């Protein structure tokens, strides 16, 4: 197994908040000092974060958006969806947060020129992929131009940025699947990695299969422990029941979607 695909030892680290900002309403960009996790994390992996101020019993699973081994930092970009993430969004510089990770099985980043396809918060783990790879391209989708604040984050790391918006306010009007066939036909991609809404990932996987390209998908499920013990995130695959937190969150598309072969 390649280093990118290895499941590395889990570390529980007391991480200090370095800074946190909000690029748009309801979205937060958090940087934590977590040197041990930063050195070992791989694109596609995630962490389990303790909610500050005793706001919840269970940790919250959050994808890693970027790391800096030199600075010992990890970056997490997340959406506020409930009380737990509301409290996390209120954490200020200097606060300490317990972080467990890196968790899960990440992306294969050994391809020559992969096309990354993402929508919404699914772009967070793909940003880590892009930063680690250095020669990928990104197809991103959002409802409006404002939701594609991601473009500025991806630009330094990719060959090209392609964008779609539901309302046509930026890029091509429509979903990412409106532009994907043209890109696959005209580009020199040797793989596709996708993360976003489930229906989008399944449609992308079907289109990618028609071009005989390998495709990896990052699944999102409710996770209680993040370690594979509670079985709350189990899914059916061609190999039987698998745990998204431990066996994933990244799987080959053909493993989880029966209609891509």
In tens, the pLDDT along 76-123 reads: 999 999 888 999 999 999 999 999 999 999 999 999 999 999 999 999
Q: What is the pLDDT of residue 10?
A: 65
What gap in Å lies between CA 168 and CA 250, rounded to an integer? 30
Contact 196, 119 (CB under 8 A): yes
Residue 25, pLDDT above cutoff 90: yes
Annotated binding site for [2Fe-2S] cluster: 225, 230, 233, 245
Annotated binding site: 77-79, 84-85, 225, 230, 233, 245
114: tokens are: 């992969």
Q: What is the pLDDT of residue 59?
A: 85
Residue 223, pLDDT above cutoff 90: no
Band of residue 245 on the pLDDT scale cut at 50, 70, 90: confident
Question: What contacts 82, CB < 8 A, 6 or more positions away?
Answer: none
Walk me through the domains of the chain, giving residue ranges and CATH numbers.
Answer: 11-103 (2.40.30.10), 114-255 (3.40.50.80)
Band of residue 6 on the pLDDT scale cut at 50, 70, 90: very low
Band of residue 229 on the pLDDT scale cut at 50, 70, 90: low
> What are 45-87's pLDDT values in tens digits?
999 999 887 666 778 899 999 999 999 999 999 999 988 899 9
Task: Decide which of 231 and 226 is more confident.
Answer: 231
Least confident range of 83-92, 114-123, 129-138, 232-241: 232-241
Annotated binding site for FAD: 77-79, 84-85
């Amino acid at each position: 197994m390649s280093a990118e695909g290895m499941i590395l030892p889990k570390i529980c680290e007391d991480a200090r908040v370095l800074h946190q900002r909000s690029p748009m309403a309801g979205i937060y960009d958090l940087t934590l000092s977590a040197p041990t996790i930063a050195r070992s994390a791989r694109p596609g992996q995630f962490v389990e974060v303790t909610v500050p101020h005793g706001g919840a019993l269970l940790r919250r699973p959050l994808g890693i958006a970027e790391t800096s081994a030199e600075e010992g930092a990890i970056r997490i970009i997340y959406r506020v969806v409930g009380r737990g993430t509301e409290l996390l969004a209120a954490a200020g510089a200097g606060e300490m947060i317990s972080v467990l990770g890196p968790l899960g099985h990440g992306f294969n980043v050994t391809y020559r020129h992969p096309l990354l396809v993402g929508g919404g918060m699914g772009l967070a783990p793909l940003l880590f992929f892009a930063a680690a790879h250095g020669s990928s391209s990104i197809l991103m989708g959002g409802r409006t131009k404002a939701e594609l604040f991601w473009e500025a984050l991806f630009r330094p790391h990719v060959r090209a940025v392609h964008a779609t918006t539901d309302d046509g306010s930026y890029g091509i009007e429509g979903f990412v699947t409106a532009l994907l066939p043209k890109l696959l036909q005209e580009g020199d991609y040797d793989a596709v990695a996708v993360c976003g809404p489930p229906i989008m990932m399944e449609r992308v996987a079907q289109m990618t299969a028609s071009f005989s390209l390998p495709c990896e998908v990052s699944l999102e499920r409710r996770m209680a422990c993040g370690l594979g013990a509670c079985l709350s995130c189990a899914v059916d695959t061609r190999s039987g029941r698998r745990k998204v937190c431990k066996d994933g969150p990244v799987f080959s598309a053909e493993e989880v979607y029966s209609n891509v072969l």
